[in-house]
């Protein structure tokens, strides 16, 4: 595929979505209208000429870290969280497929009756053929977040850009929900973000992106419902690019 705007350097992308975007106005679970909006936005990205992989969280169903003080130990709690991402993946696949978009669900947790087990060789083939890929099950191991899974999958599929969809429109020098004078960065290096202790993502994911020189674009998820990805990436006011010079 060829991007409509050849001036832009990104073709293959990895989009990280939190499980919370599937809830809508509810406090947990899956909301039909939210899933349909997300599926439509993903189809639009694919139809614009991008090759896209998606890593999803499971916080709308179960958060492993939230249960580490209970009788459930960390490893099984994280396994439950990984299963939650598989549930989300099944749902998202159905909504994307309903729009006539080719999509495949790959899981790091072997569950052959539900989804294909992740193999990077297969993933490379599928995404090159224009299929949307949904990566579920995290890394398949406890103690690793879905941010880390997203960074890992991005490198394995040779993505040009890691897109991190959030509730805010970029990276700030302090929490914009708590401080009205918080300043947003249009662009910042990994070194600067690290020295300022900015919470771009969890430290393991951040370290992988920094070491492998994988650029990260942080933006508000809602932008995907009103703008094309080309428009979002080309306007510096729409997010923050984290990239080493």
Rg of the chain's alpha carbons, rounded to an integer?
A: 17
pLDDT at 73 > cutoff 80: yes
Q: What is the mean pLDDT of the chain?
A: 91
Query: Residues 6 or more apart from 235 whose CB is under 8 A from it?
Result: none
- Specify the CATH number of the domain 12-242: 3.40.1160.10
Cα(172)–Cα(202) distance, rounded to whole angstroms? 15
Domain range list for the chain: 12-242
> Residue 141 and residue 3: Cα distance in Å, rounded?
35
* pLDDT given for residue 23 in this prediction: 87
pLDDT at 74: 87
Q: What mean pLDDT comes out for the span 100-128?
A: 96
Q: What share of the chain is helix, strand, coil (3-state, %, to 5)?
A: 40, 20, 40
Exposure class string for 16-25: b at 16+ Cβ within 10 A, else e: bbbbbbbbee
Q: Is the pLDDT of residue 54 over 50?
A: yes
> Per-residue b/e over 78-89, b at no fewer than 16 CB within 10 Å?
bbbbbbbbbbbb
Report pLDDT digits (tens) over 167-198: 899 999 999 999 999 999 999 999 999 888 88
At 68, is the pLDDT very low, low, confident or very high (cuts 50, 70, 90)? low
| pLDDT digits 0-9 by tens, 79-93 | 999 999 999 999 999
Question: In the predicted model, is pLDDT for residue 207 greater than 60?
Answer: yes
In 3D, which of 188, 165, 168, 185 has the Cα closest to residue 177?
Answer: 168
Would the pLDDT of 241 be above 80? yes
> What is the secondary structure of 197-213 as a DSSP string?
T--SS-HHHHHHHHHTT
For residue 62, what pLDDT is reported?
85
pTM of the model: 0.92
């Amino acid at each position: 595929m060829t991007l409509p705007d050849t001036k832009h350097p990104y073709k293959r992308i990895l989009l990280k979505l939190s499980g919370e975007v599937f809830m809508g106005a509810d406090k947990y679970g899956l909301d039909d209208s939210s899933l349909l909006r997300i599926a439509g936005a993903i189809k639009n990205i694919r139809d614009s000429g991008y090759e896209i992989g998606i890593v999803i969280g499971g916080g709308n169903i179960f958060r492993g870290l939230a249960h580490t003080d209970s009788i459930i130990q960390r490893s099984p709690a994280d396994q439950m969280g990984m299963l939650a991402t598989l549930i989300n993946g099944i749902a998202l696949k159905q909504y994307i497929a309903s729009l006539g978009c080719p999509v495949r669900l790959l899981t790091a947790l072997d569950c052959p009756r539900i989804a294909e087990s992740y193999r990077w060789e297969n993933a490379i083939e599928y995404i090159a053929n224009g299929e949307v890929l949904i990566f579920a099950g995290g890394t398949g191991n406890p103690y690793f977040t879905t941010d880390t899974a997203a960074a890992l999958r991005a490198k394995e599929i040779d993505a040009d850009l890691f897109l991190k969809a959030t509730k805010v429109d970029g990276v700030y020098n302090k929490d914009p929900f708590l401080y009205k004078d918080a300043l947003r960065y249009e662009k910042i290096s990994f070194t600067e973000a690290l020295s300022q202790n900015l919470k771009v993502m969890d430290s393991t994911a951040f370290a992988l992106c920094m070491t492998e020189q994988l650029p990260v674009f942080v933006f508000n998820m809602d932008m995907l419902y009103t703008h094309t990805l080309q428009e979002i990436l080309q306007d510096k006011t729409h997010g923050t690019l984290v990239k080493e010079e």
